[in-house]
Structure 1
Amino acid sequence: MATYAIGDLQGCFEEFEALLARLDFSPSRDHLWLAGDLVNRGPDSLGCLRKSMALDGAVSVVLGNHDLHLLAVARGHGKLKRHDTLTDILEAPDREAMIDWLRRQPLLVEDRTRHCVMTHAGLLPNWTLDQARALAREAQSVLASDTVDDFLGAMYGNVPARWDDALTGTDRLRAIVNVFTRMRFIAADGTLDFAAKEGLDSAPDGFAPWFTYPRVPEPAGVRPTLVFGHWAALEGHTPDARVDARALDTGCVWGGSLTAMDLDSGSLIVEPSRQGKAA
């Protein structure tokens, strides 16, 4: 049995199928981790979402910012943007089943035997694993609940930009979701920057990639491997990392590649993109 973690699909269904074939992936034998952003910007968001659902017990998914955007639009709390490719999902006959499945996916997936944790954007350095687990469950319980619309209606926004244990209500949930799904550059005090989205040289003054800060100590000296997507401009590299961080978004939708990592060996398996190079 092998477990593979795959970076952002973003509607690149043809590449997803080809990568699974390259892995000789068998749902009855192997397991798959998907690092979020299953949908949007690519040509077949519907195919990616349906395939992920069909894998059922053979797949573990974390929500990404594009997945949450789909949820908000589907529930009437957001508007389609110019480059969104979500219409096929929104007009599909099985739309409600897909939306209901998606909103019940977690923000954090973990294999404690391998000491491996996956979120879409990363993990705040001053959160212990216990705290991260609890906060992920807190937000997920709302997304999966009958009160999901209350949050989706207020989900968009950049404040508060810094985590505080005393946060409550919508501000607290928005801060949790922003860390798990939108984080790139942070300041030493944990403040998130939401404007810079390109490579490392785009860091604002006083900010650095989240993975370049040391993590708070864990019990028994556990040093988790942190698997994440979200940041295509890294091209799979995490220079100057102070943690064991594995960047798996290699920009398939922008003409790069779709990358899988074997969680046991750490080896990478790459499927070239069929999409045009970004301008």
Structure 2
Amino acid sequence: MSTYVIGDLQGCFPALQQMLELIAYDPAQDRIILLGDLVNRGTNSLAVLRWARDNQISAVLGNHDLHLLAVAAGYEKHHKGDTLLPILDAPDKDELLDWLRHLPLAIYTSGYFLVHAGVLPQWSISQALSLAGEVESALRGDNYLDYLRTMYGNEPTQWHDNLTGKDRLRVITNGMTRLRFCSATGEMDFTAKAGLDSAPEGYYPWFHAPNRLSEGSPIVFGHWSALGLQVESDNIALDTGCLWGGQLSALRLEDRQVFQVECGGMAGIKRWH
């Protein structure tokens, strides 16, 4: 049995099909885990959602997945470039959205912590899992609309253990689905979205923040397409810009082999150890 973690799809269903062929995916033997942002911007988000739901695929929630839920609930408008209407017009919309909001914010498996964006430096892996569970409970509960109504916002900018209510859930959500750069004390910056050299003064890529409590524990994440493929001892980045004509990347957890397929209709295939 092999476990394959696949980076951001954002509706790129043909690339996913190519990846499944490349890794010779056997649903009876293998496990697929998607790193969030299953939907939006690409043209086949509905197909991705239906495939993942129908095949009981594991996945963590990304910011675009949460955006879909907020738009469907009427708390957020379509953004320029959104491609969510086929889902919202689908006859099985309610079933798809219900499946989506029951996905976890993070998964811990085989010694790896899987999350869409990142982990704030004040969080250990065990605390991050517990905090993810708080958001999951809010999103899966009968009052999930209350969470979606107050989900958006950049404040508070950093974590404190005494945070409560919507502020607490918002910081957890932002850290795990939007984080790129933060200060040594965990203050998040949401303006810089390019590569490592775009860090604002006094800020670090979250995985290089000083005294990060999760340091040494392998974390696999997506979200940061400008970062590209990164394989370090305790952090592995898998968003390689499939949506933008880059590659779709997958990591086999058992041996850390990386598989890539070219997106945008190109047939090239790459593999790395």
Q: What does residue 64 of structure 2 align with?
A: 66
2:7 paired with 1:3: no
Q: For the residues of structure 1 that align with 2:211 and 2:132, how far apart are their CA atoms?
A: 18
Shift of 1:170: 0.5
Q: What does residue 241 of structure 2 align with?
A: 251
Q: SS of the counterpart of 2:55?
A: helix
2:255 paired with 1:265: yes
Contact persistence 1:254–1:275 (CA under 8 A): no
Shift of 1:28: 1.1
2:137 paired with 1:108: no
Q: What does residue 189 of structure 1 align with?
A: 185
2:120 paired with 1:127: no
Structure 1, 266-275 or 27-36: larger mean CA deviation: 266-275
Q: What does residue 33 of structure 1 align with?
A: 33
Q: For the residues of structure 1 that align with 2:255 and 2:230, how far apart are their CA atoms?
A: 17
Q: For the residues of structure 1 that align with 2:126 and 2:164, how far apart are their CA atoms?
A: 19
1:259/1:159 CA distance change after superposition, 3 Å: same
Contact persistence 1:11–1:43 (CA under 8 A): yes
Q: For the residues of structure 2 that align with 1:237 and 1:116, how far apart are their CA atoms?
A: 15
Could you report, residue by residue, the CA deviation over 1:157-202 in whole angstroms, capped at 9, with x for unpaired residues? 0000000111111011101100000000000110000111111111
Q: For the residues of structure 2 that align with 1:93 and 1:215, how far apart are their CA atoms?
A: 49
Shift of 1:215: 5.2
2:16 paired with 1:16: yes
User: For this pair of structures, how many residues does the alignment match?
Assistant: 266
Could you report, residue by residue, the CA deviation over 1:7-58 in whole angstroms, capped at 9, with x for unpaired residues? 00001000001101111101111001100000001111101111111221xx
2:236 paired with 1:236: no
| Paired-residue identity, % | 48
1:232/1:216 CA distance change after superposition, 3 Å: closer
Q: For the residues of structure 2 that align with 1:175 and 1:123, how far apart are their CA atoms?
A: 11
Shift of 1:214: 4.7
Contact persistence 2:184–2:210 (CA under 8 A): no
* Residue of structure 2 aligned with 1:161, choices 157, 160, 164: 157
Q: TM-score, normalised by structure 1?
A: 0.92
Shift of 1:217: 5.3
Contact persistence 2:15–2:262 (CA under 8 A): yes
Structure 1 unaligned blocks of 5 or more: none
Matching residue's letter, 2:12: C
Q: For the residues of structure 2 that align with 1:179 and 1:225, how far apart are their CA atoms?
A: 17
